[in-house]
């Protein structure tokens, strides 16, 4: 986490479009449609450095692992098995510590599953919601 914070703080001083292109490469697969790539780049370049800096200072360092076992609401963990930003080990750890959670892995999907595979993503969410009492 400290490494990610350090690198992101460094990136705040670099040209936003350059950073966005590098970042998107970790969000979407290399063969992603150009419209999806462009949309992600647009969102990233519009991020405000002051907001990102505040998030990195006040939110990112907080370790929530000790409270995961106290989550007592239906919890869906939806992960792409090709995610390089939050690998499956992260999903497995969350699933192991959140009682009754449901872990759904989307095959061949990266970090932005809602962009890369919206039909699969939406189906998993709807199935989860419909299964709730």
DSSP state of 12: T
Question: pTM for this structure?
Answer: 0.80
Residue 53 is part of which domain span? 2-58
The pLDDT tens digits for 64-102 are: 999 999 999 999 999 999 998 888 999 999 999 999 999
Beta-strand pair 102-106/76-80: parallel
In a domain, 14, yes or no: yes
Q: Is 32 helix (H, G, I), strand (E, B) or coil?
A: coil
Other Cβ atoms less than 10 A from the Cβ of 106: the count is 20
pLDDT in tens, 24-63: 999 988 888 999 999 999 999 998 889 999 999 898 889 9
- Tell me how far apart the alpha carbons of residues 88 and 109 are, in angstroms, rounded to a whole number: 11
Indicate if the pLDDT at residue 1 is higher than 90: no
Q: Are residues 26 and 52 in the same domain?
A: yes
The structural domain count of the chain equals 2
């Amino acid at each position: 986490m400290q490494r990610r914070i350090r690198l992101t703080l460094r990136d705040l001083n670099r040209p936003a479009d350059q950073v966005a292109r590098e970042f998107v490469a970790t969000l979407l697969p290399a063969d992603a449609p150009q419209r999806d790539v462009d949309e992600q780049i647009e969102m990233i370049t519009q991020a405000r450095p002051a907001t990102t800096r505040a998030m990195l200072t006040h939110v990112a360092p907080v370790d929530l692992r000790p409270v995961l076992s106290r989550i007592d609401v239906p919890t869906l963990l939806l992960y792409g098995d090709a995610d390089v930003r939050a690998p499956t080990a992260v999903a497995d750890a969350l699933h192991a510590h959140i009682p009754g959670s449901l872990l759904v892995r989307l095959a061949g999907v990266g970090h932005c599953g809602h962009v890369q595979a919206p039909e699969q993503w939406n189906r998993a969410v709807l199935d989860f919601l419909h299964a709730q009492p």
